[in-house]
Amino acid sequence: MTIDDLEAVYEIECASFPQTSWNIESFLRELTANQFSYYFVIEKEDSIVGYCGMWLVIDQSQITTIAVSSREQGQGYGRQLMQHAKSYAEKSADILSLEVSVDNEKAMKLYEKEGFLYGGIRKDYYGPGKDAHVMWVKLNE
Ligand SMILES: CC(C)(COP(=O)(O)OP(=O)(O)OC[C@H]1O[C@@H](n2cnc3c(N)ncnc32)[C@H](O)[C@@H]1OP(=O)(O)O)[C@@H](O)C(=O)NCCC(=O)NCCS
């Protein structure tokens, strides 16, 4: 992901997370001021159709965001993004983890298929009454 990608990324972000979307400045900070972050996009015919971000701190890595444009979902882009994240993280990390809303069936299915296990619940993670599952996968196995 580069600064030039941010307008397209932000459009997908707002459509994907209407209640909790990050603003452009948050993405910009991740790209320019966070030495632990790694963000990437997936393109189809020169248009961005999805993106994913992660933090990689020594041997721990964490997905911060992943989304595919609603028009392009169900075609394997989410899977490709996650597989790229895992292969990048496994260069130095042993574990990749993430949080997912307990009612986000689609995302949980994707994570299960990519080997993620359920590690517990974070109460009110997305606001009052909006819990998250913590999921994690062991890398390099
Ligand atoms: C979650 C998300 C990234 C998946 O991206 P995608 O490109 O649609 O996913 P893929 O086409 O690669 O599908 C991967 C797996 O996800 C699951 N999946 C995808 N669409 C699904 C649907 N409509 N219903 C149930 N499971 C679904 C399936 O297990 C699928 O594997 P399969 O094709 O072998 O059955 C996408 O739905 C999205 O952007 N959602 C909104 C943002 C979001 O919720 N992000 C996650 C925050 S934690």
pLDDT band at 14 (very low <50, low <70, confident <90, very high): very high
Give the per-residue pLDDT at 141: 78
Measure 73 CA to ligand 1 centroid, in angstroms: 7
Mutate to test the pocket of ligand 1, among 22, 42, 70, 73 (most ligand atoms within 8 A of CB): 73
**64 CB near ligand 1 (under 6 Å):** no
pLDDT (tens digit per residue) in 46-90 = 999 999 999 999 899 999 999 999 999 999 999 999 999 999 999
Homologous superfamily in CATH for domain 3-138: Gcn5-related N-acetyltransferase (GNAT) (3.40.630.30)
Beta-ladder partners of 63:
54
Mutate to test the pocket of ligand 1, among 110, 112, 125, 134 (most ligand atoms within 8 A of CB): 110
